[in-house]
Amino acid sequence: MGREMRVTSRTGLRAALGMLVLVGGLALSPPARAYTYTNPLYGTSATFPARAFPIIVPATPEGQVWRSEEGAELVVYAIENPEWSSPRELVRWRKGLDRVTYQRTGRNWAVVSGYLPDGRIFYERYIFRGKLTHSVSVRYPEALRDPYDGMLKSITESLRGPAR
State the Cα–Cα distance between residues 65 and 78, nearest whole angstrom.
12
In order of 56, 136, 138, the CA distances from 50 in angstroms are 10, 15, 13
Q: Is 13 helix (H, G, I), strand (E, B) or coil?
A: helix
- Find the length of the chain: 164
Instruction: Give the pLDDT score at 20.
Output: 28
Q: Which of 23-27, 36-40, 97-101 has the lowest mean pLDDT?
A: 23-27
Q: What is the overall mean pLDDT for the chain? A: 84
pLDDT band at residue 85, thresholds of 50, 70 and 90?
Answer: confident
In the chain the domains, ranked by start, together with CATH numbers, are 32-157 (3.40.1000.10)
Tell me: pLDDT of 156 over 90: yes
**Torsional sign, CA 133, 138, 141, 146:** negative
pLDDT band at residue 22, thresholds of 50, 70 and 90?
Answer: very low
DSSP H or E segment with residue 93: helix 87-95
State the Cα–Cα distance between residues 126 and 151, nearest whole angstrom.
17
Q: What are the pLDDT digits (tens) for 86-124?
A: 999 999 999 999 999 999 999 999 999 999 999 999 999
Would you say 131 and 80 are in contact if contact means Cβ atoms under 8 Å apart? yes
Instruction: Give the pLDDT score at 32.
Output: 64
Tell me: pLDDT of 128 over 50: yes
Would you say 137 and 9 are in contact if contact means Cβ atoms under 8 Å apart? no
Percent residues over pLDDT 90 in the chain: 76
Output 50 or 25, whichever has higher pLDDT: 50
Output 26 or 40, whichever has higher pLDDT: 40
pTM of the model: 0.79
Tell me: pLDDT of 14 over 90: no
Beta-bridge partners for 57:
65
DSSP H or E segment with residue 152: helix 152-157
